[in-house]
Amino acid sequence: MVNIPQLLQEDATQTSGWLDGYFDALKDASAQHLLAAMRYSAMNGGKRVRASLVLSAARLASSQQSYQPAHLAVAGAVEMLHAYSLIHDDLPAMDDAELRRGVASCHKAFDEATAILAGDALQTEAFSLLSKPGLMADASRQLELCAVLARASGVVGMAGGQMLDLQAETSASDLAQTKIMQELKTGALIRASAVMGVIVGGGDKRMQNAVDKFASHLGLAFQIADDLLDYQADADQLGKPAGRDAEQGKASFVELLGLEEARRQADSLIEDGCASLDQFGDAADGLRGLAQFVINRNH
């Protein structure tokens, strides 16, 4: 039996330690104010679910339980990319959020121009990490890592999803449109994280496809759980104002489905997603446990 809270905590600690070391290595950079904003946003807490997906999938693929340098580098790259997306998501031109994880969002702690540059730099550093010579013995796998993360980040991934999210503020969205938007904005990076873990762990295409199917269900369930929290939790639990989607006129799964049906669909998605891991037996318990944690979290 995998102790998921303990696993998440250890994965988060290892990933944060790796990121801290990475930023320390940039101590001679000329733009120290920019580096401070990058560190602030990448190191301001969070459960590191995406990093844990990378690491859990890598453990499944490699059968190694210890923390491998390449696995942590990929987890760090994913968390940098995620931090960039949150910085830009919080900007006045986007969601105009003053808090992130209980502290001032980057543009409030620094300023708007610095926040934009911090997001840009974090995104670039993520790809610099993945393309670093010697990260993996097989350079073609590094190229695959870059391609997977690029697809999850661009017009058919998070950027496209954010655009659809902004458009949803001024036009009504139905369930199908909301699903597409969230599959891009939230689900794309979750899928990429899991698949990248398989790639860096040395897994074959069969495992990549199975884990991708699992993560596609997880990504949607993750967003439904997030919507449930936005309606049911308070600002102290969330670390940011609750009810933002409703205030901005955006459709959510809770609004479109109702609380009970949204919860039922999240459970069903996790059940279907975990079924795709049956072929791996107990070795996939880390991924299964993460999926259950995602839909049952309270913040």
Per-residue model confidence as pLDDT tens digits over 226-270: 888 877 755 455 555 555 555 555 678 888 999 899 999 999 999
Integer Cα distance of 157 and 188 in angstroms: 5
Q: Which CATH number fits domain 4-296: 3.50.50.60, 3.40.50.720, 1.10.600.10, 3.30.70.980?
A: 1.10.600.10
Place of tokens 């990378």: 54
Instruction: Give how far Cα 281 sits from Cα of 60, 202, 232, Å.
Output: 10, 18, 35
- pLDDT above 70 for 37: yes
Report pLDDT for 101.
Answer: 86
What confidence tens digit (pLDDT) does each residue in 71-113 have?
A: 999 999 999 999 999 999 999 999 999 999 889 999 999 999 9
CA-to-CA distance for 59 and 135, rounded, in angstroms? 17
End-to-end CA distance of the chain: 24
Identify the burial level of 38 via C-beta atoms within 10 angstroms of its C-beta, where 0-12 means exposed, 13-18 middle and 19 or more buried. buried
Residue pLDDT, tens place only, 49-81: 999 999 999 999 999 999 999 999 999 999 999
Give me 45's structure tokens. 């807490």
User: How high is the pLDDT of residue 299?
Assistant: 61
82 near 225, Cβ under 8 Å?
A: no
Instruction: Work out the mean pLDDT of the chain and round it to a whole number.
Output: 92
How many Cβ atoms from other residues are within 10 Å of residue 259's Cβ? 14
